[in-house]
Amino acid sequence: MPEKIQGLTDRATIESSGNIFRTVFERIQTAILIVDPAAHQIVDANPLMESLTGLSKDQMLGKGCQGFVCPAKCGECPVTDLHKNILNIEREIINAKGERVPVLKTVAKADIGGKEYLVESYVDITEHRKAEERQAALIAYLSESILRAKKPLELMQEEFHEIARRAKSGDYDPEDVRMELELHAKNLGQIVKNLEELQAKALEGKTTEIPPEFREFLIRK
């Protein structure tokens, strides 16, 4: 193949590869930043990164990533300064409102146009964190419910066994048994009241902390 034609073919291949990369970069369902590691400056950001941060691409380009979208201080970059391998590690980024958003972060080095860059990808795990918090709240609620009911019920169980033993042996006074049963009925009522108080506490202004299906169970009549 003539040298001129070969050169044109190589250039076309490179341009085609660049177009493919740009298409993937723009459409992939992962937030991505491309950072110049020497200056720690953002050189590119895809649409999902704009959505995640609430910042436009123009607002991010040329900005230092540290203290802007990354909470790490200057001189403490996990990749370039601390030389850590960042692969699906839980981190936080700072959005346009100054809020810290939990993410899974991965950083890879890539040669682009003969220069090394950091390709940083982020997956928002906000909903995952909320689910964990709801689960923790539910476990705490159930634990408190069990503690409030378990010990009194265990004591009542022992008393019922004792009543049954005395009834079997004939060594009992009907009036004593009646009074003991009334006392236990009162105790059961108190246990129900305690659980109802827990139910009200859990539902009052805290519905987001309890999974919908469990909330439905609580209010079901």
Are both 136 and 90 inside the same structural domain?
A: no
Are both 146 and 81 inside the same structural domain?
A: no
Are both 19 and 99 inside the same structural domain?
A: yes
Scan for tokens 């298409």, then name that residue.
23
Task: Find the mean pLDDT for residues 67-75.
Answer: 74
Are both 147 and 120 inside the same structural domain?
A: no
Environment class of 134 (CB within 10 Å of its CB; exposed 0-12, middle 13-18, buried 19+): middle
> Could you tell me the CATH number of the domain that includes residue 61?
3.30.450.20
Are both 28 and 117 inside the same structural domain?
A: yes
The predicted-structure confidence for 161-194, as pLDDT tens digits, reads as follows 888 887 787 777 787 778 888 887 887 777 777 7
pLDDT for res 11: 39
Are both 185 and 88 inside the same structural domain?
A: no
Which residue type does 212 have? P
pLDDT for res 5: 41
DSSP single-letter state for residue 73: P
Are both 162 and 189 inside the same structural domain?
A: yes
Q: Can you tell me the distance from the alpha carbon of 152 to that of 144, in angstroms, rounded to the nearest whole number?
A: 14
Write down which residue in 91, 124, 157 finishes a domain.
Answer: 124
Q: Which of 27-31, 121-125, 129-133 has the lowest mean pLDDT?
A: 129-133
pLDDT for res 179: 81
What is the maximum alpha-carbon separation in the chain?
A: 116
Write down which residue in 71, 90, 124 finishes a domain.
Answer: 124
pTM above 0.85, yes or no: no
Are both 62 and 115 inside the same structural domain?
A: yes
Task: List all residues 6 or more positions away from 128 whose beta carbon is below 8 Å from its beta carbon.
Answer: 102
pLDDT of 221 strictly over 70: no
Write down which residue in 87, 105, 124 finishes a domain.
Answer: 124
Report how many domains make up the chain. 2
Are both 109 and 179 inside the same structural domain?
A: no
The predicted-structure confidence for 44-62, as pLDDT tens digits, reads as follows 889 999 999 999 989 988 8
Structural domain boundaries enclosing 109 = 3-124
Are both 103 and 15 inside the same structural domain?
A: yes
> Whole-number mean pLDDT of the chain?
76
Are both 115 and 57 inside the same structural domain?
A: yes
Are both 64 and 144 inside the same structural domain?
A: no
| Position 202 confidence tier, pLDDT thresholds 50, 70, 90 | low
The secondary structure of the chain, three-state, reads CCHHHHHHHHHHHHHHHHHHHHHHHHHCCCEEEEEECCCCEEEEECHHHHHHHCCCHHHHCCCECECCCECCCCCCCCCCCCCCCCCCEEEEEECCCCCEEEEEEEEEEEEECCEEEEEEEEEECHHHHHHHHHHHHHHHHHHHHHHHHHHHHHHHHHHHHHHHHHHHHCCCCHHHHHHHHHHHHHHHHHHHHHHHHHHHHHHCCCHHHCCHHHHHHHHCC
